[in-house]
Structure 1
Amino acid sequence: MTNGAIVVGPALGAVLVLFVALGAAVLWLGGLGRGRAIVSAAVRAAVQLAAVSLVIVAVLRSGWWTALFVLLMFAVAAVTSARRIGVPRRGPGFGWTAVAIGAGVVPVLAVVLAAGVLPLRPVAVVPIAGIVIGGAMSATSQAGRRALDELETRHGEYEAALALGFTPRLAALEICRPSASQALIPALDQTRTVGLVTLPGAYVGVLLGGAGPVQAGVTQLLVLIGLLAAEAVSVLVTVQLVAAGGLSRAARPGARCR
């Protein structure tokens, strides 16, 4: 391996299988969950990356195909986040989840493109868009789950706030806002420790692409700060949507309604 790239071969396959088996075994033996969840996630990742590898070259040759690919990534992110939050499959929940993710993604991408700091070329837009969409998706999922969990477990406090004269929205915000804000902890920790604990993917990718350390550092800084902005907006919008009743598990049997 003279150019820093991963060596593709039998050894790589064996290592991947070993890691999947180890993760599944730890979950199963430790009683932390179903081990097959890791197996399923790993298989899906392999299949999806294989499919993307086959089409990405064609996608990057066309601006229209690039736009469609970014929209596909966004749609998948919205569906994934909605399912993770637990909103009903039928109803406006999926649409509101897309609104929360888009509220963070669209301004960040618009600013970096309008300012000219990111070249308007498919090879530059696709990876940055994917990173920002993925971060906003994770933040929305965590904020939504935490907010709804708090409203379900602390329903008595919510009713007490209503009895004191709070509106339903303000009462819900008092309950769910503090816990939902914890969805930003992973992004904050990654930004605070970059270069000291981790060298994130954008930095390593730019280095492997032949750029110098300074260019790689600038790219990673743009990604991290952009992620913080996108995730902060997505978390804020998610909390507001939960408080307003747009994101709800009301259709789930046994769920507590506000």
Structure 2
Amino acid sequence: MNSVGDAVIRIGPALAIVVVILAILAVVINRAGRTGHTREVIVATVRATVQLAALAAVLGLVIQRAWAWAIFVVVMGCAAAWTSAGRITGRRASLRGSVYCLLPVALATIVIVATMVVIGVLPASGLAVIPTAGIMFGGAMNTASLAGRRAHDELRTRAGEVDAALSLGLLPRDARLEICREPAATALIPGIDQTRSVGLVTIPGAFVGMVLGGASTTAAAVMQLFVLISLLAVSSIAVVVTTEMVGRDVL
């Protein structure tokens, strides 16, 4: 193992045992607590293991070829949209829902990353674009999923208020947004708190990784600031667009 890896965590049989124990603990706690997510925890654990193994194998092949890493980024965005579509609707994602979810989950990230590459802020290389886009896709995906689920839950529990708003002459879109917009916006709270507490409560991985890789602490701090602010931007877009789409009853 190289010195950078050893400084973060020691990879070996002991680590493998710890990972297995933690996975089992997560499953047992969910089962005992009757959270309803036991199966999802198992599936998520297995998928993470398989997908990270595949990523390690594939990344070395695509990262040096522009067309290959561009396709890889598109696949990442589609996967994020598909995941959010299933979360928002509460059932298996449909092709229609996944296509709609490309708007809040993937479009803003692609536009922002492409713009940064064009103006020279971000190097036009897979090593730079793939992790940057991945972080932003992930943030937008999580925010869209939370916003969409919260909006639908609120509309179901307050259906009478929607009907009352319609009886007062509001358009269906306006009546639905009147009920679900504010609750859906709470999906931004984790991102806002993460940004507010950085350096005080959390020391993010990008910062640690850059420092261990030999970058100055100032460069690492600037990079981490970019990551956090970009996440706030794409997450804000995801909340607004997702809520609008739920209000229009297209998601």
User: What is the 5 A alignment of 1:114-129?
Assistant: 114-129=118-133
Matches within 5 A, 1:155-194: 155-194=159-198
- Establish whether residue 203 from structure 1 lines up as the match of residue 186 from structure 2: no
Shift of 1:244: 1.1
Task: Determine which structure has the larger helix proportion and give its number.
Answer: 2
Does structure 2 conserve the Cα–Cα contact (< 8 Å) formed by 1:92 and 1:246?
Answer: no
CA distance in 1: counterparts of 2:95 and 2:59, whole angstroms: 33
Residue in structure 2 matched with residue 216 of structure 1 by the alignment: 220
Q: How many residues are aligned here?
A: 247
Residue 53 (structure 1) aligns with: 56
1:221 aligned partner, one-letter code: L
In 2, the alpha carbon distance for the partners of 1:126 and 1:11 equals: 31
TM-score norm. by structure 2 comes to 0.93
2:36 partner SS: coil
Given that 1:101 and 1:234 are in contact with CA atoms closer than 8 Å, whether structure 2 keeps it comes out as: yes
The letter of the residue matching 2:63 is L
Deviations 1:206-258 (A, max 9, x none): 223221111111111001000100110111011111111211xxxxxxxxxxx
Question: After superposition, where does 1:102-117 map in structure 2 within 5 Å?
Answer: 102-117=106-121
> d(CA) in 2 for partners of 1:170 and 1:47?
44
Separation (CA, whole Å) in 1 of partners of 2:55 and 2:111: 26
**What is the letter of the counterpart of residue 23 of structure 1?**
A
Alpha-carbon shift at residue 190 of structure 1 (Å): 0.6
**CA shift in 2, pair 1:246/1:34, >3 Å:** closer
Answer whether contact 1:151 1:158 (CA < 8 A) is retained.
Answer: yes
Contact 2:143 / 2:235 at 8 angstroms: preserved in 1? yes
Give, as a single letter, the amino acid of the residue that structure 2 aligns with 1:14: I
Contact 1:108–1:229 (Cα < 8 Å) also in 2: no
Question: Does residue 29 of structure 2 align to residue 43 of structure 1?
Answer: no
Encode CA deviations 1:146-203: one digit per residue, 9 max, x unaligned.
1111111111100000000101111011011001101111110110001111111211
Q: Determine the structure 2 residue equivalent to 1:29.
A: 32
Q: Structure 1, unaligned stretches of length 5 or more? A: 248-258
Do the aligned partners of residues 34 and 238 (structure 1) sit closer, same or farther apart at CA in structure 2, a change above 3 Å counting?
closer
Q: Which fold has the larger relative contact order, with Cα–Cα distance below 8 Å and residues 6 or more apart in sequence? A: 1
Residue of 87, 95, 101 corresponding to 2:99? 95
Task: Within 5 Å, give how 1:222-233 maps onto structure 2.
Answer: 222-233=226-237
* Consecutive aligned runs of 4 or more in structure 1 exceeding 6 Å deviation: none
Structure 2 unaligned residues grouped into runs of 5+: none
Provide Cα deviations, 1:12-32, integer angstroms capped at 9, x if missing partner: 101101111111111111222
Q: How much does 1:5 deviate? A: 4.1
Partner of 1:69: 72
Identify the range of structure 1 (104-113 vs 234-243) with the bigger mean alpha-carbon deviation. 104-113
Whether the 8 Å CA contact 2:31–2:38 is kept in 1: the answer is yes
Identity %: 47
- The one of 135, 146, 152 aligned to 2:150: 146
2:250 aligned with 1:243:
no
Contact (CA 8 Å) 2:78, 2:98: kept in 1 or not? Answer: no
Do the aligned residues in 1 keep the contact of 2:188 with 2:235 (CA within 8 Å)?
yes
Does the CA-based 8 Å contact 1:170-1:243 persist in structure 2? yes
